[in-house]
């Protein structure tokens, strides 16, 4: 059971060999595949940022993005996730090892649902010792 972060989704869409191999591996095993609602936000923000200048192109890119996102179960930002995120954020801040709020919420979502986080961004996430991380 895996939660994929934003870097994985972007790499997959861009044809990164490691991400493609990981996707094939997960698909072959028929594992539960999820993303955080924060990943949805980050991914769609990128689409808007890149294509907002051309409404027709934006429309087609959003349609493609929605099809890509539909491959995953989208996990919500709940009270329970927020509570875990607050603890992670405070702990990292006190240790002088803060990471972005988006990454904190993605990590908290992973922990709340007892999943393995699949990411290329190991540097940030390894600061959270209880997080199970897999890279590609």
Regarding pTM above 0.85, the answer is yes
Question: How high is the pLDDT of residue 119?
Answer: 96
The predicted model gives 97-108 an average pLDDT of: 97
CATH of 2-134, one of 3.40.50.300, 3.40.630.10, 3.30.390.50, 3.40.50.1010: 3.40.50.1010
Nearest CA to 9 out of 68, 70, 74 is that of 68
pLDDT band at 29 (very low <50, low <70, confident <90, very high): confident
């Amino acid at each position: 059971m895996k939660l994929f972060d934003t870097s994985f989704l972007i790499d997959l869409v861009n044809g990164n060999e490691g991400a493609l191999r990981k996707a094939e591996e997960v698909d072959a095993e028929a594992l539960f595949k999820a993303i955080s609602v924060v990943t949805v936000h980050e991914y769609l923000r990128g689409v808007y940022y890149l294509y907002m200048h051309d409404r027709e192109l934006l429309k087609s890119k959003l349609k493609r993005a929605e099809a890509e996102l539909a491959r995953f179960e989208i996990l919500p930002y709940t009270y329970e996730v927020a509570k875990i995120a607050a603890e992670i954020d405070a702990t990292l801040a006190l240790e002088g090892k803060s990471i972005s709020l988006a990454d904190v919420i993605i990590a908290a979502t992973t922990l709340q649902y007892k999943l393995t986080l699949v990411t290329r961004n190991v540097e940030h996430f390894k600061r959270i010792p209880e997080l199970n991380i897999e890279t590609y």
